[in-house]
Amino acid sequence: MQDVINRLRNKKDDEGFTLIELLVVVVIIGVLVAIAVPVYLNYRKGAADKSAQSDVRGAVSTIEQYYTDNGNSYPNPSPAATSKTASFSLYGATGTSSGGPTAGQSGGWITLSDKTTLSYIYVSASSSYLVCATNSGGSGKVYLYDSTKGGSVATASVAIGTCA
């Protein structure tokens, strides 16, 4: 019984953490947050940039499919420069805008990620086109695909509305 009383008396001196110990823990947590937040924000910007690149690749696939399905002719939307911030058809949302598909033609949909602006610039029916995109949640880079060069999507210093 005396052992139990002695243990209880000894525990009285151990009442918790000191103020210094708590401050050290708070400082450590603050340092971890200061490191983690910028890294997280950079990951988000990188992901937004990748979504813009992906949207350009998707648009190129849709345009090339259109070219194959419609007598080796690229779509010629009205107006000549089409800049969109939401998913769209190569001939307007309903496929019935001026210059839209005629009998036997098909127009594909270009699907865009959230916050992506994409421009399709028709150069000539059987020759070439430009596609460029940016994502407002990203780093501000504009990604360009030039059908005369082919290949991959590249970062370019161009205006989003004209791809030039």
Q: Does residue 42 lie in a domain region?
A: yes
97: which DSSP letter?
Answer: S
The span from the CA of 86 to the CA of 113, in Å, is 8
- Total structural domains within the chain: 1
Residue 10 lies in a domain: yes
- Residue 44, in any domain of the structure: yes
| Residue given tokens 């949640």 in the structure block | 137
The alpha helices in the chain, defined as continuous H runs, are 2-11, 19-69
Q: What is the pTM (predicted TM-score) of this model?
A: 0.69
Query: 69 vs 27, which has greater pLDDT?
Result: 27
SS3 category, 88:
strand
* Residues 15-68 pLDDT 10s: 778 899 999 999 999 999 999 998 898 999 999 999 999 999 999 998 888 888
Give a yes or no: residue 101 inside a domain.
yes
The answer to the question of residue 41 being in a domain is yes
